[in-house]
Structures are given as structure tokens and as C-alpha cells.
């Protein structure tokens, strides 16, 4: 039985049948641990809807979605309520994508779901490296009574990441203890050049990229549940893409879009463009 509900929209140019494809998208419409402004459960549908307005060609990468076979498998069939069963469902769904021979790209939903996907990918790639774009450290042990809060996302990912290799790019919000850990561990990269330097010895290692969209500045992406001033612009993300183009990206996720918080719809368009870049990176020969 498929873990996906294939009803609803589809990302531009994709197909439902995974046969012959290289990349498999799926959505997880969950925001059960949101602690400020809810609505990320609407993120996957919004990304799919606005994707129809984008060009298939990416001038930065000189790659075109029309030259790539990729599948949009639909939404993970998740239970209502506590996050633990949702994380388990995400792990099973990601494993199903990997078993199809596809590179998984998950559309969220809130960040709590990422540990399930990372666990599945790490089972196949024990030397997996995790790269996090995020405003927040997400290193709490628990938050508001649950260990699977979106505020604990990287703490849970570290528990399922055998290599322990996590790079956190320019985190700008967190507790004092989280920042002490960021600095003492050496995981926090201050800028894209630092990321490039840190990843240079890891050429050939499998990479998982998790993109919490609140990494972007609220001026360009206000549609997220926990906006944090002092963020980044599209050019900064393009620089990250340039770094990743020289590495072996095997999986990723794009999370924390709350489309109803941006009446202009620009946040959803930016999220869809991020998704396009990641599809092309995943589908490229690396």
C-alpha cells in the first residue's frame, strides 16, 4: 500500500508515475507543534500551485526541468495529533522513495518532520552530512512538552545522524545554551564562504540539505510562522546552490512556509523557486 495520497495539485512538469524518474517529491502537511503562528500545513499545496508560474529553466545552473524526469508522489498520509507518529510516517515514506531508486525531496510542513526523513536517508548513507539553512538553532531537548517540537528539529536529527556531521549556516536566533553549543561545536558557519571551506574536504560525501524558509529575511519571505529579522536574500541562497553544485546532494527538504501569512503570495513563489533549484541539483549527475 502506498504511503502517499496522490489527490490534489502537482509540482510543475512532474509526473505521478515514478518509473524512469530520478527525483521524488512528496508533501507533509503538518504543523501540530507550531508555537507561534500556525499554517505550515498549507505549505506543500501552495508551493505546487504557484510553481506553475515559474520557468522550467534555471539560468544559474544552466539546467532545465524539461530535461529531467521527476515525480511528485503526493502527500504523506499522516495521523492527526502528536508528532511522533508523524515523524515515523515520514521515515517510512522517505524509505519508500529511496526504495524506488529516487532522491527524496520533502515539502513541509513544519521542521519537526525533518528527523524522519534524515533517519531514512542516513540508513542508506551512514556517512551522510546534514546542512541546515535556518534562522533558528533548533537544538532544544524539548519545547512545550514534546521532544519532537519544531524547536528541537536538529537535536532529533543529530540522534539519527551516524556521522554527527551537521553544518548550520548563519543561525541568528536561539537560547544562550544553544549558541554556546553552536560555537563550541564548530557547526555554525558565519557565511557561505565558511560553508564552502567546511565542505571542501567532504567532496563525494552524501549531503542532505534542510531549508527552513525562515532563513530568508522577512522582507522577502514574510509567510512563515516564526519570522526573524536579519535574514538572507535570494542571492545568498544562489551562493549556497553554487557550493552544493560541487557536491553530492542526495536528499533535502523545504519547510516552514505558511502561505496564508503573506497575502502577496511572494513567499510561496520564493519557496517554489527554492524547490526548483533543489530538484535540478538532485537530478544532476554528481
Domain total for the chain?
A: 1
- CA nearest neighbour of 46 among 108, 120, 116: 108
CATH of the domain at 46: 3.40.800.10
Q: State the pTM of this model.
A: 0.95
Annotated binding site: 111, 134, 136, 138, 212, 214
Domain residue limits at 217:
4-283
How many C-alpha atoms does 94 have within 13 Å on its Cβ side? 28
Round to whole Å and give the CA distance between 24 and 150: 24
Q: How many other CB atoms sit within 10 Å of the CB of residue 85?
A: 13
pLDDT by residue for the chain (286 residues), tens only, comes to 468 888 888 999 999 999 999 999 999 998 766 766 778 899 999 999 999 999 999 999 999 999 999 999 999 988 777 778 899 999 999 999 999 999 999 999 888 899 999 999 999 999 999 999 999 998 987 766 776 776 789 999 999 999 999 999 999 999 999 999 999 999 999 999 999 999 999 999 999 999 999 999 999 999 999 999 999 999 999 999 999 999 999 999 999 999 999 999 999 999 999 999 999 999 996 5
Round to whole Å and give the CA distance between 62 and 41: 32
Per-residue burial over 237-265, b = 16 or more CB atoms within 10 Å of its CB, e = otherwise = bebbbebbbebebbbbbbbbbbbbbbeee
Annotated binding site for Mn(2+): 111, 134, 136, 138, 212, 214
- CA nearest neighbour of 171 among 221, 136, 198: 136
Round to whole Å and give the CA distance between 233 and 237: 7
Amino acid at each position: 500500500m502506498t504511503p502517499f495520497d496522490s489527490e490534489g495539485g502537482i509540482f510543475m512538469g512532474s509526473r505521478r508515475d515514478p518509473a524512469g524518474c530520478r527525483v521524488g517529491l512528496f508533501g507533509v502537511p503538518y504543523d501540530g507543534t507550531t508555537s507561534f503562528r500556525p499554517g505550515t500545513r498549507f505549505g506543500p499545496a501552495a508551493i505546487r500551485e504557484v510553481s506553475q508560474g515559474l520557468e522550467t529553466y534555471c539560468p544559474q545552473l544552466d539546467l532545465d526541468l524539461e530535461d529531467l524526469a521527476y515525480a511528485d508522489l503526493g502527500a504523506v498520509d499522516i495521523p492527526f495529533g502528536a508528532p511522533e507518529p508523524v515523524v515515523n510516517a515520514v521515515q517510512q515514506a522517505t524509505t519508500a522513495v529511496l526504495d524506488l531508486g529516487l532522491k527524496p525531496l520533502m515539502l513541509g510542513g513544519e521542521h519537526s518532520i525533518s528527523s524522519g526523513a534524515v533517519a531514512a536517508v542516513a540508513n542508506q548513507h551512514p556517512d551522510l552530512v546534514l546542512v541546515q539553512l535556518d534562522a533558528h538553532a533548533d537544538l532544544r531537548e524539548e519545547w512545550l512538552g514534546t521532544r519532537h517540537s519544531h524547536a528541537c528539529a536538529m537535536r532529533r536529527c543529530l540522534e539519527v545522524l551516524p556521522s554527527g556531521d551537521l553544518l548550520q549556516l548563519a543561525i541568528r536566533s536561539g537560547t544562550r545554551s544553544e549558541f554556546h553549543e553552536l560555537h563550541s561545536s564548530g557547526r555554525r558557519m558565519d557565511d557561505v564562504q565558511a560553508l564552502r571551506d567546511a565542505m571542501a574536504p567532504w567532496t563525494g560525501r552524501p549531503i542532505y540539505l534542510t531549508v527552513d524558509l525562515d532563513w530568508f529575511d522577512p522582507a522577502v519571505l514574510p509567510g512563515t510562522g516564526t519570522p526573524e529579522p536579519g535574514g538572507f536574500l535570494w542571492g545568498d541562497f544562489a551562493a549556497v546552490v553554487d557550493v552544493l553544485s560541487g557536491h553530492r546532494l542526495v536528499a533535502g527538504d523545504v519547510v516552514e512556509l505558511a502561505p496564508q501569512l503573506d497575502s502577496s503570495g511572494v513567499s510561496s513563489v520564493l519557496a517554489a523557486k527554492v524547490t526548483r533549484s533543489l530538484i535540478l541539483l538532485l537530478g544532476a549527475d554528481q
